[in-house]
Structure 1
Amino acid sequence: MGGNTVSIFQLWSPAVLVTAIAAGWLYTKITGSWSEKFRDAEPVPVNMKRNFYLGLILFFVSEGTPLGYLGHNYMFSAHMTQMSLNYLIIPPLILTGLPAWVIRPIIEMKGIRGCMKLFTHPIVAVLLFNLFFSFYHIPFIMNTLMANDLLLFLYHTLLVVTSFTMWFPVFCPVPEWDRITSLQKIAFVAVNGVLLTPACALIIFAQTPLYEMYLNVIVPFPYLSLLDDQQLGGVIMKIMQEITYGIAIGIIFFKWFRTERSKNPDLQMDAPMEPQENNSLQPSAFLK
Structure 2
Amino acid sequence: MGLLRRRGSSTTLRLHPAGPLRPTDTVTVTVALDEPVDRVEGARLELGYVNRYPYRWAGRRAVSSASLDHDLFSTVDVGTDYGSDRDTEEWVHVLDVPLPAAGGRLEAGTRDVQLRVPSWAPGSSDVMVRWMIRLHVERSGRDVTAEEELTVLVAPPDPAPEQPHERLEGQGAEVVVVPDRDWWRPGEELRGTVLITPTAPVSTGTLDVRIERLRISHPLVRTPGGTQVIERPSVRVAKGFTLRTGVETAIPFVIAVPEDAPPTTESVHASVAWFVRASVEYPGHASIWPDRVRRGFGVFTA
TM-score normalized with structure 2 length:
0.18
Greater helix share, 1 or 2?
A: 1
**Larger-gyration structure (1/2):** 2
Greater strand share, 1 or 2?
A: 2
TM-score normalized with structure 1 length:
0.19
Structure with larger RCO (C-alpha < 8 A, sep 6+): 1
